[in-house]
Structures are given as C-alpha cells and as structure tokens.
Amino acid sequence: MNKNRLLIGVIVLLIVATVVLVNSGKSDPPPPQTTPVASTNPEHSHPHPPAGTKVVPAYFKEAPSRSSLAPTLEPEQFEGKVREAYRAVREIPVTIAQMPCYCHCDRGMGHKSLYSCFEDDHAAHCAVCVNEALTALKLEKQEKLTAPQIRDRIMSQFGEL
C-alpha cells in the first residue's frame, strides 16, 4: 500500500512539475501597449492641451520632398467628391502634406498630416478629409496661394468645426 501511495505521489509531483514548466514560458507579461511616437518632421500639438486651447493636428511645417511621401490610393477606386479629393492629393501632394487634418486622425491613427489620410481609404469615409483636400486644391489653383497661406485658411475654416 505504501508503494502505491509513493508511486501516486511521484506521478502527482511529475504532473505538477510539468504544468509549472509549461506555464513558466507563458508567464511573461505581454509587452506594454505603446502609443505611436510623434515624428520629428511633422508639427504635433501637445496631447493634452490646457482647456480653451485650440488644438492644431499634425502637419509638415516644411515641405517634404515628393519622393519621401508614400503613394496614395488610385482615385479611380472611388466615385464623386471622394474621387476628386484623391485626385487633388495626387495633383498637389506636397501642399496636402503641409495641411493639418481636422478629423484629428493624428491622435488615434498616427497620421502625420492630411496627406496620410489618402494613403489608405480613411479619407473615403471622412468628409473632413475630403473637404480639406478639395479646399486646398481650389486655394492653390484658383487663388494662387502658397502652402502656408492655404494652411492658415484651412486652420481658420476647419479648426472651428
């Protein structure tokens, strides 16, 4: 009888040791969630500005080179006003990169400027992105404004929303 108890004790001890060994590889805590770090190129506002302070979303203060910008989606994938906005971004990409996006996608999606919204289909679902891009194109082509002048207009028009 003592042999049986001893044998059962050894088996239980082996099972416990096996469970501990298997779980020891899983006991490391998952890596902490990280928030995207602001790039040094775009201008970012403080994540928690004082109350009453107007928040300006991220944008490139200095014009990036056209070759440094990622490609945007093909305008032909879309229809109507959305297609025109994607075309506008293709026509004046450096100007669009110097615009903040007032849907504040820089916070939740890590966008660096209005241009980032057109690298995927985000802008196709956002009237703010579409309207800002079309406004920027109109101001550059029809009113012959510079990127900083267009940005001032965008900030005054869309920053009030």
- Lookup: tokens for 1: 């009888």
Coil, helix or strand at residue 14 = helix
Stretches where the chain sits below pLDDT 50 are 26-48
Residue 95 in domain: yes
Q: Would you state the pLDDT for residue 53? A: 63
Tell me how far apart the alpha carbons of residues 87 and 138 are, in angstroms, rounded to a whole number. Answer: 12
Q: Is the pTM higher than 0.75?
A: no
**Beta strands 59-60 and 42-43: pairing type?**
antiparallel
Per residue, the 3-state secondary structure of 22-47, as one string, reads HHHCCCCCCCCCCCCCCCCCEECCCC
The H-assigned helical ranges of the chain are 2-24, 80-91, 93-97, 105-108, 127-141, 147-158
Q: What's the full length of the chain, in residues?
A: 161
Mention every residue, 6+ apart, whose C-beta is less than 8 A from residue 75.
83, 84, 86, 87, 90
Give backbone dihedrals phi and psi of 113, rounded to 5 degrees, phi first: -175, 180
Domain membership of residue 125 (yes or no) is yes
List, for residues 105-142, the tens digit of each pLDDT value: 999 999 999 999 999 999 999 999 999 999 999 999 99
Question: What tokens appear for 105 in the block?
Answer: 């996608």
State the sign of the Cα–Cα–Cα–Cα dihedral 15, 16, 21, 23: positive
Q: Which domain holds residue 140?
A: 46-158
15 belongs to a structural domain: no
128 falls within a domain:
yes
| Helix intervals (H) in 48-126 | 80-91, 93-97, 105-108
Per the structure, the count of domains in the chain is: 1
